[in-house]
């Protein structure tokens, strides 16, 4: 295919990736890296570089809408960004020295675990929870809009969530996925935030995390403008569309879509990693 066809196809694929990433809180990178490497034959480190740029675009596009509508918990996001930023710098440094096949295999296993964890989660009550001492001191408790009006919730497990966010940052720098899967898992499971608050706060956070590691990829020449530009534009538009759909979406449907998409991509990445095709 010629350059114009390649650019158009990458942009369309990126739009879909941004749409799914916005709905689930994953960021577009979780779909983009397999898309670019498996379908378009892009070397995985260049795919990660473009994905990190797209993650920044996703966060910028969707986060503003979520904050305006009252879903994102800004205090939680800003506090946890301390851990994810440090982790992102560590992960990006490690990625420069790992073989591409190992990166693909790690990517696949992370996605499989994320799909399993998301699918098996059950809703947890928010009204019966007692306030957490650290969360109360940092004034993290908040509320979010529901069809019946604003519903209050308490934030729990701040130390565990902070530790998991460091892991999320490492994965972001290593895999270029924005680590939204781990962030949503940490906030939803460990910190007991409502699922929509978890996904929207994840979108609020992933841009800062990605920017920390993108600088390292840029300095090593792994961000190609010819790939990054259509990816960024497609993901930005997709994330804005996803933000409009999220308010009326059912949580269970989001979990099922999330699990099915990344399970398929995970199997492809693991297979190609072991086969040495990446």
Domain boundaries, the chain: 10-274
Task: Identify the three-state secondary structure at position 152.
Answer: strand
pLDDT at position 120 is 62
What is this structure's pTM? 0.71
pLDDT per position as a tens digit, 101-110: 888 888 788 7
Cβ atoms of 164 and 178 closer than 8 Å: no
pLDDT at position 39 is 86
pLDDT, averaged per 10 consecutive residues of the chain (278 residues), comes to 87 84 66 83 88 76 74 88 89 83 84 69 53 82 85 88 88 73 76 82 78 83 90 84 72 71 80 78
Strand partners, 80: none
pLDDT at position 9 is 92
Burial of 248 (0-12, 13-18, 19+ CB in 10 A): exposed
pLDDT per position as a tens digit, 22-73: 676 565 667 788 888 888 888 888 988 888 887 777 666 667 777 888 888 8
What b/e readout covers 54-87, taking b as 16+ CB neighbours within 10 angstroms? bbbbbbebbbebbbeeebbbebbbebbbebbbbb
Spatial CB neighbours of 198, under 8 Å, sequence gap ≥ 6: 25, 183, 184, 187, 188
Q: Please tell me the distance from the alpha carbon of residue 44 to that of residue 174, in angstroms, as a whole number.
A: 11
């Amino acid at each position: 295919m010629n350059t114009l066809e390649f650019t158009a196809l990458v942009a369309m694929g990126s739009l879909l990736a941004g749409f799914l990433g916005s709905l689930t809180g994953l960021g577009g990178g979780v779909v983009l890296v397999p898309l670019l490497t498996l379908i378009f034959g892009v070397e995985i480190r260049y795919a990660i570089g473009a994905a990190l740029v797209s993650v920044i675009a996703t966060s910028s596009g969707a986060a503003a809408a979520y904050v305006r509508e009252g879903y994102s918990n800004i205090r939680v996001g800003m506090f946890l960004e301390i851990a994810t930023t440090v982790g992102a710098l560590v992960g990006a440094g490690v990625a420069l020295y790992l073989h591409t096949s190992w990166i693909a295999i790690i990517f696949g296993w992370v996605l499989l675990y994320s799909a399993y964890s998301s699918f098996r989660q059950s809703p947890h009550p928010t009204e019966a929870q007692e306030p957490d001492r650290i969360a109360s001191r940092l004034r993290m408790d908040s509320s979010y809009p529901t069809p019946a009006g604003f519903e209050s919730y308490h934030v729990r497990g701040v130390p565990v969530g902070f530790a998991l966010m460091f892991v999320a940052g490492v994965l972001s720098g290593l895999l270029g996925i924005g680590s939204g899967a781990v962030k949503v898992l940490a906030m939803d499971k460990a910190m007991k935030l409502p699922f929509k608050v978890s996904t929207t706060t994840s979108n609020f956070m992933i841009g800062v995390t990605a920017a920390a590691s993108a600088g390292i990829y840029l300095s090593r020449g792994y961000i190609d403008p010819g790939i990054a530009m259509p990816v960024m534009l497609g993901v930005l538009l997709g994330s804005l569309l996803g933000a409009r759909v999220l308010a009326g979406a059912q949580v269970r449907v989001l979990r099922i879509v999330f699990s099915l998409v990344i399970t398929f991509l995970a199997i492809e990445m693991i297979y190609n990693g072991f086969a040495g095709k990446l």
